[in-house]
Structures are given as C-alpha cells and as structure tokens.
Amino acid sequence: MYSIKQEAQRCLKCKKPQCSAHCPAATPIPEVMELFLSGEIKKAGEMLFINNPLSAVTSAICPHERNCTGHCVLGVKGEPVRFYAIEEYISRFFLETVELPHIEKNGIRVAVAGAGPAGITMTLLLLLHGYDVTLFEAQDAIGGVLRYGIPPFRLSRDLLDMYMDIMLRLGVNFRPNTRIGTNILIEDLFPDGYKAVFVSAGTGRPNKLGLIGETLGHVHFAVDYLKSPEAFKLGRRVAIVGAGNVAIDAARTAIRRAHSHVSILHFMGENEMTANRDEVEMAELEGVEFIHYAQTVRILPNAVRCVRVRRVEREDGSAAFEEDYSETFDVPADSVIIAIGQGPGADMNAAGVRLTQRGLLDVNEWGETDTPGVFAAGDIVSGPKTVIEAVAFTKKVFRKMDEYLKNT
C-alpha cells in the first residue's frame, strides 16, 4: 500500500492525460499533482475547489473505475494511480483550512431551490461571484442525496457541515424545511426581487414495482430506508430488489444496522449491474448475497416470489433477457426493500415550469427552462446520475446564468 505522497509520485503527468479527459468535470490532475508534490497543498486544494466545488465529495463517491482511475495509462499493465485518494486528502485539508476572501456583493438576488449536489455547487459559484443567494431546502440540512441517500460509512457527514459553514461565511441566506412548489411557487420569487431562480430539487420519489404485495407492512423503499435506517425493524432476512448504487447502499446499511442476511435480486447478470464495481466488491466481502437472473413477480408475507430469467444472445451480438415462468422460486424475506430508481416529486407539477413526459424539468443544453430567468440542473433534469455529472452540468449552467444576470 502506497502512502498518499508515494501514490502521487507514481503519476506520469502525461501531456495528454486521459484521466482528466475522462473526468466529467475535467479535473486538471497533472497540475494538481505538481502543486501537491512541490509542497503547495493549499494551491492544489484551491485549484480543485475552483474546478469542482464538491471535489471533497466526488473524490469519495465517484465511480473512479469509469472515470479517472479507469483511464490511467499505468493501469494498462499494472496498478493505476489512485488519484481520488490524493484528491480526497487535499480537498478535505482545503475545507478545514480555507481562508475565504472578501467578496464584494453585486446587489443581484438569486434563489436556489434544493440543496443537493447541484444546488450546493451553484450556491457556491454564485456566492464566489458576488451574488446575494437564498438557498431553499425541503429538509432541515443541506446535502440532499448526499446526506439522506448515501450511508455515513461512504460519505462523512462532517464534510457537508463544512460546506454549510463555508456558504454561511460567504453570506448565504438559508431557508430549511421550505419546499419550492408547495406553499412557495417559483412565480412568487420574482416579485420579491429575485432576478433568477435555479431549480435543483432532485428526484426523491421512489419508483414502485406495481406488483401484488407491494403495500404489505414489511415492504419498504430504499430511499426511505436510507433517510433514517434506525426507524426500520427489518428482521433477520432482507431481500432487496434492484442492483444499482442505492440497492448496494441499502444492503450494506442493513448488514451494519440490522445484522441481517441480505439478498440482492437482479433480473440481469453480474456484468449488467449499474452499481459501482468497487461498491459491489465491498458488499460481497461484507456478506451480501447476489441472486442474478431473478425477476420479482410477487411479494409474499415472508418471501419474494421470482421467476428465472434466461440470457439470450441475439444475432447482432447483443443480449436479451427473457422470463421463464416454468421456473419459479421463493427467496425468504422478513423484509423487502425496493430499489429500482427514483422519479421527481409531485410538487414539480406546481412549480410553474414545463415538464418532460418523465416529469423532469424541460431545459435546453444550458439548463434554461421555457420561463425566462429559471434555470435547472441535477437529477430533476437528467434523472438519477452521478454527483460528478451533476457538478459538471451545473458549472455549464452557471456560465449561462451569470451571462443572463449581467445582461438582463
């Protein structure tokens, strides 16, 4: 195991770094490494923060194997550089030691609705450019999915508290427990002097299976469970339907908090799982059982009924998955957790902007809605995606928003 410094010294500082090219936020990895190794850790942290305000978060939870680490040239024949570990160290140090500059306010008031990854990113960018920001959040603390959807063993909550402290020091006006789209509509904000509104309300409504037994008392949605796992009594056997990151987080949390035997039911194969590979490996080490090629068809009081799925190779080389109803089996379960994705909350219907057929906010490539002055980013625009993707698009939206605010 290399130390952080030794790991940084392994970096080849490529002239055309594929690690940076495959980072959605285009993190300048060689430049950060140079600063770090020359003893300029604060400058390295500032570079990371300016490029990606949530670098302390994304370095901990990114799908690194798909982004930076997965494209390091050293990984072709050996071990890739674990840049994310170096980035996490530098970024946390930056948050703990940053001395914020005095920023002159420009007198322009902006509202941000939703304090998840996109909302925090936009709020910081606006504050650093002198805007007067009011941040509206439906919960009592910032973070969104970062606080209420990702377990503490994956993402330390004190990081979010550091971000809140920085935003307060920069002058944010924070309104907790206030959901835009219910008692306050977007159209109510402009008469109060807001020149623009950024919507990043997320997708907190869990998708349902639509099966018989889904309303039984031992059935729960993963997003609800992860918000407050201490409130749930799961029993000794837990079955989780779904194979994404939320399903993995729920499984690992259930093992820790409920000491349950956890089975994950997945209708495709191991290679088709959408969860991060390293998280799957950790779940396997912790005892999670993966049952692949199993399609859930009914929930019983003490089991989940499944049919076997067959993988069929098409002529073009692609694969199809077909249920074989001649092979039915039950997976014992004291509790069932459903983790098959999320959609937008119903309050977006009352938010006053046009929606897509999926119920998401309809925006152009710059995050502009059809309502002048209303911009959006994050899961409420794209559906559930990674935090780094939300940050990358929010940065793009900020550039257009900044231009709009200065020229209107």
Taken in order of first residue, the domains within the chain and their CATH numbers are 4-97 (1.10.1060.10), 109-205+343-407 (3.50.50.60), 208-338 (3.50.50.60)
Mean pLDDT of 34-54: 96
Token couple for 85: 């570990």
pLDDT of residue 387: 95
Mean pLDDT of 174-198: 92
Distance CA 363, CA 385 (A): 16
Beta-strand relationship, 237-241 and 261-265: parallel
Going by C-beta distance under 8 Å and a sequence separation of 6 or more, which residues neighbour residue 126? 110, 112, 133, 198, 398
228: pLDDT strictly greater than 70: yes
pLDDT in tens, 311-344: 988 888 788 899 999 999 999 999 999 999 888 7
10: pLDDT strictly greater than 70: yes
For the chain, helix, strand, coil in percent to 5 are 40, 20, 40
pLDDT in tens, 117-164: 999 999 999 999 999 999 999 999 999 999 999 999 999 999 999 999
Confidence band of 183 (pLDDT split at 50, 70, 90): confident
Enumerate the H helices of 129-206 as residue ranges: 145-148, 157-169, 186-189
Mean pLDDT of 365-375: 94
395: pLDDT strictly greater than 60: yes
pLDDT in tens, 275-314: 999 999 999 999 999 999 999 999 999 999 999 999 988 8
pLDDT in tens, 188-205: 999 999 999 999 988 888
Measured in degrees and rounded to the nearest 5, phi and psi for residue 296 equal: -70, 130
Percent of the chain at pLDDT > 90 equals: 82
Identify the burial level of 91 via C-beta atoms within 10 angstroms of its C-beta, where 0-12 means exposed, 13-18 middle and 19 or more buried: buried
Query: Lowest-confidence range among 186-195, 200-209, 370-379?
Result: 200-209
pLDDT of residue 12: 92
CB 114 within 8 A of CB 136: yes
* The length of the chain, given as a count of residues: 408
CB 266 within 8 A of CB 243: yes
pLDDT of residue 2: 63
What number of helices (H) and strands (E) belong to the chain?
15, 15
Single out the residue of 223, 224, 260 nearest to residue 244, CA to CA. Answer: 223
User: In whole angstroms, what separates CA 167 from the centre of its chain?
Assistant: 20
pLDDT of residue 8: 93
